Structures are given as C-alpha cells and as structure tokens.
Amino acid sequence: MIDFNQYKALTFDCYGTLIDWENGILGALKPLLLAHNTNLDDDQILELFAEFEAELENGDYIKYREVLKRVVQKFGERFSFEPTADELNSLADSIQHWLPFPDTVEALRAFTSKFNLVIISNVDDNLFALSAKHLEVEFDQIITAEQAKSYKPSLNNFRLAIERINLPLEQILHVAASVYHDIVTAKSLGLSTVWVNRRAKQEGVGATLPAVSQPDLEVPDLKTLAALSSPKEY
C-alpha cells in the first residue's frame, strides 16, 4: 500500500482511465466496418485499433484527429474498402459522445478535496474540451499531445507535465489504465504509479499494445482508488 498523504497532485490519463474509450471506439467502428461487409469481433477491432494508432503516433507528430482519420483509412486498407469522407472523420467526431466510466465523476469529485488534478492525454485540445464537459470537475493542469507535439509513451509528454506541475516527483502520483502508454514511462521517470486495470475480468489487452511494468498499486477502478486515497470524502 502506498501512502497517499505524500502526494499533492494526481495526474490522469483520460481515455481508457476516465472515459470509456473502448466502448466509444467500438460504437464508431463496428457499424462502419459492417457497412463495408467486414465482420470483426470486439477484441479484433480493439487490437487492430491499438496496432494502427501506435504506428501512426510513432512517426512525425500529427494531430490526434488526423491519427484517428488515418486509423479508419488503415482499416479500409487492411480489409480492402475505401471509407467515405464522412467515415474517415467518424471516429474523431464520435469522441464528443464517449462517456465516463460509471465511477469516474464521483471519484474525481472526491479527489478534488485532497489533490490537484492534472490530465496527461494523447489528444487534441479541442477534442479533450468535448470530453471535459462529461467529467464535471476543474483540472489544475491539462497537458495534451497537441501541446507536447508528441504522444505517450514518449518521455516528452510526462516531462512537460512535470515541469508545469512544478512539484517534486515524490509528490506526484500518476493514474492510468494503459501500461503501454503510461505506466512504463511514468515509472522510468521516477513517478509513483497506479494501474487502473479496468480490463481485469476481460480477455486480451483491448485498445492498447501489450506491455509489462510493475505499478506501485493496482486497482480495478477509480471507485476503489478514491476509497483508499480519500476515505473521509468518499
């Protein structure tokens, strides 16, 4: 167990940790693929998304809206169909409808009584603004890939966040669902980490590439983390 009293800031990944991005991804891609006679199961769609997204984010920086557009294009290339212009934009356009996990908002409200809250997200500023409306709390800092001009798991995104937070590393706790995007890099920089293992009861790794690391704490959801870190407020 970690001592939550030593931390002044909680940094959060957004999509997959706070926002249910896998259901959002599936909600956008399943009907698109079926419209082109491509019938894949949920795990196949999510694993291909992870493959395509990681490939696109590893190259020269492009905005996340363009990443998602090219993800759709790669599905077309893989399964021999040509997406329409509307279909190419449909995945990015769907982000405004992606909803928080059922425990997210209440947990964030509990965290605000004790910690500064910070977002470190692989997203564009304007796309995160659409999601922020669903989260219902004010964040002290919001660091996006658009600001960093790079994508996690790049060290650059975390270094920018650490610089802006302006606290000793030992007072920052990073909370994320993706070992690949977040936990490995955060730990390499000396940050304490919490792995929110939302897929603990599911097969496969979902919409992120597989990776191995040892977080300081593993929890199944944010409700559990809130109860551990802010028991009086939750």
The pLDDT tens digits for 94-138 are 999 999 999 999 999 999 999 999 999 999 999 999 999 999 999
In this prediction, residues 173-191 reach a mean pLDDT of 98
Q: At residue 144, what are phi and psi to the nearest 5 degrees?
A: -110, 165
Amino acid at 63: K
Catalytic residues: 13
Q: How many CB atoms lie within 10 A of CB 75?
A: 23
The pLDDT tens digits for 59-71 are 899 999 999 999 9
DSSP string for residues in 57-113: HTSS---HHHHHHHHHHHHHHHHT----HHHHHHHHHGGGG--B-TTHHHHHHHHHT
pTM: predicted TM-score of the whole model, two decimal places? 0.95
Cα angle value 48/50/52 (rounded, 5°): 65
Burial of 52 (0-12, 13-18, 19+ CB in 10 A): buried
Helix (H) or strand (E) holding 12: strand 9-12
Q: According to the model, what pLDDT value does residue 231 have? A: 63
